[in-house]
Structure 1
Amino acid sequence: MKLRLFALITSALLLTGCSSIPQSGAIGYGPDVTSGLNNDEVYYSQTGPYQDAGQDAILSGFLNAGNGPQNDYAVAREYLTKSFAAKWQPNKEVLIQQGIPRLFQVSETQYQVVVGVSGEIDEDGRYTELPAGSTKTATIKFAKVSGQWRISEAPDETIVIQPNFKVLFRAYSLYFFDPSLTYLVPEVRWFPSRVSTGTRLMNALLKGPSDWLKPAVVNVIPVGTKLNINSVTIEGGVAQVDLTSAALRISAANRPLVKSQISATLEQLSEVKSVEISIQRTPQKIAGYFDAQPPSLGTSPLALTATGLVRLNTSGAQAVPGTSAAVQQLNPTEFAYSQSQSKLALVSAAGVHLMRLDTLSDTPKLIDGRTKQLAPSFDPQGSLWTLTGVKGSPFVVTGINRTVLRQSAIDGVPLSFDVSPEGARVAVLYRVGKVNLTYVFPIERSKQGLPVSIGAPTQVTPAPKNASWVTWADGVTLAMLAKTSTGSTIPFLVTVGGQLVPSRAIDAGYSVVVNRTGQFFVLQSNGNVVESRGPSWVTISQGILALHVSGE
């Protein structure tokens, strides 16, 4: 199953950008364009340097020629000395330009370019949002070749103006396994969409996950494996992946897992329908592979009322069997419902209670008596995660065993949290000083899938600093709720390792969930549940105490 919501976010980013690529402006150059290309002819033509051009003209022409990546930036390389043209690596780093660059001539043969940047992407596609006001300085050196000025030194990078970035780049996921080899775990990377995208995706996959994610995942592909020929060819919808001899170490049992990783990664490209793997040009017969995607969220949200749980769908509020007695006994304010729909957790004044719904006459049992409990969360393995709104509070995980897990010290008070759909990560929203910050922690598990520890987190920098709620919308996307300066609230979708997309404002939002199809549902402080429908919010239920989607 592909990450539908993730694709919707990517589409939204494209729609908010320009429909064509700007051809002028200082430092406005970016790599590539739409998915599914089989050549570079869609790019507008660039012109090389004219006779006796001055340094200013050479610099401007070089920067603008970066918008034309045909033949590996052949026109841009015309502005370089031959020796430097052979060494220049424009895709080493991508800077996303903010504002107008400033150009300074510091000597007869040297310029400095100072540019404001809002974000950067490394050669493996990792996106980092930078603090407001960040700048980068590029040094450009010149030399004369046969009486003509040419650039002899420049950074191995390209600089993209924000509208170009939204047109040229797309977010993709690399896929790794959880330690139990049950579920695929995605990590977002950004690449320009063109003929070489499959090759760049494979190279990044072979290098493995980012450092922060390593404790939570396994790359079944052996360390040191590379593409035998640095190219993924696509013919008739089939991606041909030829690996080096290091791949011979893959056991017969793990070969379907390797194909699962590679297929999930490459089949995000619209032109790829299947994958064939070879090792040193010898085709590998891999009988089958499995989808390995975690259980998806439901389409109908679940709601807690004073008399029991109900499912909100087009037919109205449908009671969830077996929940009424426990709810009326405990008077809970929050709940969690397992992905298997066999377990229910209820948060009352006494703490968190757990009960089974697939066992007749089961009664709720107190499993965490701490005060200030936040909304709990089930992982796909069926364990219940609890956390309190107290600084330094550890996670308590109740499953086959009861495990206490302390996360890396964040000097803040937890406000909201949620375990990711495959159980490899947990997102936590903290109050830190006067702002609210969002972090995603890796969950280290045993080969049996049991949680062992919590690793050091990555901060989700695009997340709003005044958010009050966080939950997973899919494997790479967080749904969040934040207040506006006028007092209303706005739901957001935030890609972990990517950007932020806001929805429409709604009055007095308390919590937010997103279903499998990307639909927003917001619980308001007055107990009403509203659903996003086209340009408006529609009230679909009243008297609701808490709201979640099955699987949260």
Structure 2
Amino acid sequence: MPDSGDVQAVKASNPGDSQVRVYAVAPRENADPDEIVDGFLEAMTSDDPGFATARKYLTKQAARSWKPEENIAVLTTAPGRDPAVRLADPESTGRTFPLSGRQIATVDASHAYQPKAPAEYAESIHVVQQLAADGKTKEWRIDKLPKGLVLGEADFLRNYRSVNKYYFASGENWVVADPVYIRQRQDPVTRMDPVAQTVKALLEGPTGWLNPAVDTRFPSGTQLREGVTTLATDDQSTLKVPLNKKADHVGAAACKGMAAQLLFTLRDLTSVRVEQVEIQGSGGNRLCLLGKGQAIDEYSPVRNPGGGENPYFVDEHGKLMMLSVDGQRPDKPTEVTGPFGKGTLPLRSVGVDREESYAAGVVQDGRELRVGSLSTDEELPAPVVTSTAAQPDNRLSAPSWDGRGDLWVADRNPLKPRLWMVPGGRGERIEVATPWLRDGARIESLRVSADGVRIALLVTQDKRTTLQIGRVERTFDDGVQSVAVTDLENAAPRLESVTSVSWAGPSRLVVVGTEAGGVQQVRYVQTDGSTSASSVLPGLNGVEAVAAPHGEQAPVVADSGNDGIVRLVPGANWQPVVKEGGSPVYPG
């Protein structure tokens, strides 16, 4: 223990520890302006109901107009200020305190997380003197402040957690994840517990980015019954959800879809175990009841989501091989049935459909994309897509299948870069509208989500490769399908360069990338761009490609360059599987 030295101020919150709680402290009598500003910044990180204590640092007018729920500015660390910097007003009636930091994200009123490349945060807090409660003395209070909340990343992750809301793909009968952030505990503004918060967020509708591609089964205006702030399961793990009269007259099919949206949404909440949902009308009457198993069977975008998933790779001879996850020899690859297992047409890269019935292979020179059976030795049909680029690395990317059975591939020809979709894997190819694919932009690789609504793209432009998430929009005119990928969002703005990406669940990706001035890392990233300290996987050198399962039981598989194919079992370190091989993939 040191017995000398100066006393130094430290932040009250413990970064990354969700068990730490901050209790707001009201301003002391005759507090100086510095104490008012520091006390308010600390009070914003608390769970104080209604942020009542934080409002005590504000003037009456500011306390009435401040809406902490409308916006959250997330900084790398808690907002800082230089105690020596305080700007006096010309009339000397107030003080302005600039806030410093680097902003990495914004969370809007719909709870949507919007990442951004770290940038200087430029806001300030202004304090003035007002009459105290005794009507005689004056006290310093804040009259101008940033909109919403300003939190360091550690405080944000301590107070908020990511959950997936679920909506239906437009015109389809399977669900799509829509990640948002809710409070870890009771919401200070609505006083709702996490379950009620999550249901409320679901009823408010999809986030703006996803909205054009999804539908909800809830009638417009549907809300929780007035006064409901807590939702809890009974001894049968049934959650009863009382709604207002907007839901009173829904049909049986729509009600079943509503219950499915609730079941998928609530399964991410570890604090509650929901086996079935009962939807109640405004009078407390049961509208419908649905079990979790039935919801998964009928509405999941992945067929047999609880079944085994097997990874595949291309060996040194260009043959397609399978690794059995459940077998006694998970490190012993087996040749697949069908033409790709024979090696008569050596492959460069491969994609396996989600039912593991067909594979799509790009031949070794990158010029042709062919589709073959994984169950019979039938002859390979003609190529479904062909590239005319001069160099192999400028030809076809690795292919990817969505849950609809459609096949996707990019032609990286610099003279005419294009994105193709092949309906059913064998239909007439469709050129996908990509208005952003210009000015030298190039698609390095792509992976389509199981629901077919989102696509993860590695896009190179100006010598930098970034991870972009695009929304897939499909239209039909007289039976003719048109497809577009629109509204690209950078899902990993803090990564300087991204090498490989794979879907790892409904709204999570595994990414291989490098931060500015850093080393290569393999980590999980949410599709909204948010991450956590626990998302980094064990270190692995020279990763060229990565593949992750849709579920959490099967291992992550990677091509580690000189070390060949390796795998990462949950709770263990990377283990070698095959010395020679590449292009690892899971179905999809």
TM range (shorter): 0.7 to 0.9
Rate the CA distance shift 1:505–1:268 in 2: closer, same or farther, 3 A.
closer
Which position in structure 2 is the counterpart of 1:134? 120
8 Å CA contact 1:179, 1:449 repeated in 2:
no
Give a deviation string over 1:374-423, Cα, whole Å, max 9, x none.
11011112121121223531223232553221223134111010111221
Using CA pairs below 8 Å that are at least 6 residues apart, which structure has the higher relative contact order? 1
Which position in structure 2 is the counterpart of 1:217? 214
State the secondary structure of the residue aligned to 2:524: strand
Give a deviation string over 1:121-141, Cα, whole Å, max 9, x none.
122221222332321313434
Which position in structure 2 is the counterpart of 1:440? 469
Rate the CA distance shift 1:233–1:181 in 2: closer, same or farther, 3 A.
farther
Rate the CA distance shift 1:414–1:129 in 2: closer, same or farther, 3 A.
same
8 Å CA contact 1:468, 1:481 repeated in 2:
yes
8 Å CA contact 1:384, 1:397 repeated in 2:
yes
- Provide the rounded CA distance (Å) in 1 between the counterparts of 2:88 and 2:41: 18
Bigger drift between 538-547 and 447-456 goes to 447-456
Which position in structure 1 is the counterpart of 2:404? 381
Q: Give the one of 464, 485, 497 matched to 1:466.
A: 497
Residues 1:92 and 2:70 are matched in the alignment: yes
- Provide the rounded CA distance (Å) in 1 between the counterparts of 2:482 and 2:451: 13
- Identity of counterpart residues, as a percentage? 21
Which position in structure 2 is the counterpart of 1:290? 295
State the secondary structure of the residue aligned to 1:504: coil
Residues 1:497 and 2:494 are matched in the alignment: no
Question: TM-score, normalised to structure 2's length?
Answer: 0.79
8 Å CA contact 1:176, 1:184 repeated in 2:
yes
Q: Give the one of 429, 447, 465 matched to 1:402.
A: 429
Q: Give the one of 267, 272, 282 matched to 1:280.
A: 282
State the secondary structure of the residue aligned to 1:409: coil
State the secondary structure of the residue aligned to 1:428: strand
Rate the CA distance shift 1:386–1:220 in 2: closer, same or farther, 3 A.
same
AA aligned opposite 1:378? W
Which position in structure 2 is the counterpart of 1:13? none
Bigger drift between 405-414 and 447-456 goes to 447-456
State the secondary structure of the residue aligned to 1:211: coil
8 Å CA contact 1:29, 1:67 repeated in 2:
no
- Provide the rounded CA distance (Å) in 2 between the counterparts of 1:29 and 1:97: 15
Which position in structure 1 is the counterpart of 2:354? 339
Rate the CA distance shift 1:84–1:26 in 2: closer, same or farther, 3 A.
farther
Give a deviation string over 1:194-236, Cα, whole Å, max 9, x none.
1333333233322322333223211222333333326442234
Residues 1:457 and 2:472 are matched in the alignment: no
Rate the CA distance shift 1:449–1:476 in 2: closer, same or farther, 3 A.
farther
* Structure 1 residues 217-366: aligned runs within 5 Å: 217-229=214-226, 231-237=228-234, 239-248=239-248, 250-269=250-269, 270-273=271-274, 274-288=276-290, 290-291=295-296, 292-295=299-302, 296=305, 298-305=308-315, 306=317, 308-313=319-324, 314-315=328-329, 316-323=331-338, 327-348=342-363, 349=365, 350-359=367-376, 361-366=378-383
Rate the CA distance shift 1:522–1:223 in 2: closer, same or farther, 3 A.
same
Rate the CA distance shift 1:282–1:483 in 2: closer, same or farther, 3 A.
closer
Give a deviation string over 1:50-93, Cα, whole Å, max 9, x none.
22223332232222223332332232233334454344322222
* Structure 1 residues 100-249: aligned runs within 5 Å: 100-102=80-82, 104-107=86-89, 108-116=93-101, 117-142=103-128, 143-145=130-132, 146=135, 147-149=137-139, 150-195=141-186, 196=192, 197-229=194-226, 231-237=228-234, 239-248=239-248
AA aligned opposite 2:174? Y
Rate the CA distance shift 1:161–1:284 in 2: closer, same or farther, 3 A.
same
AA aligned opposite 1:509? V
Any gaps of 5 or more consecutive residues in structure 2?
1-8, 187-191, 389-394
AA aligned opposite 1:474? G
- Provide the rounded CA distance (Å) in 1 between the counterparts of 2:232 and 2:119: 45
Provide the alpha-carbon RMSD of the alignment.
3.3
8 Å CA contact 1:413, 1:431 repeated in 2:
yes
Shift of 1:428: 0.8
- Provide the rounded CA distance (Å) in 1 between the counterparts of 2:334 and 2:21: 56
8 Å CA contact 1:215, 1:455 repeated in 2:
no
Bigger drift between 387-396 and 82-91 goes to 82-91
Which position in structure 1 is the counterpart of 2:567? 531
8 Å CA contact 1:437, 1:465 repeated in 2:
yes
Question: TM-score, normalised to structure 1's length?
Answer: 0.84
8 Å CA contact 1:308, 1:325 repeated in 2:
yes
Which position in structure 2 is the counterpart of 1:20? none
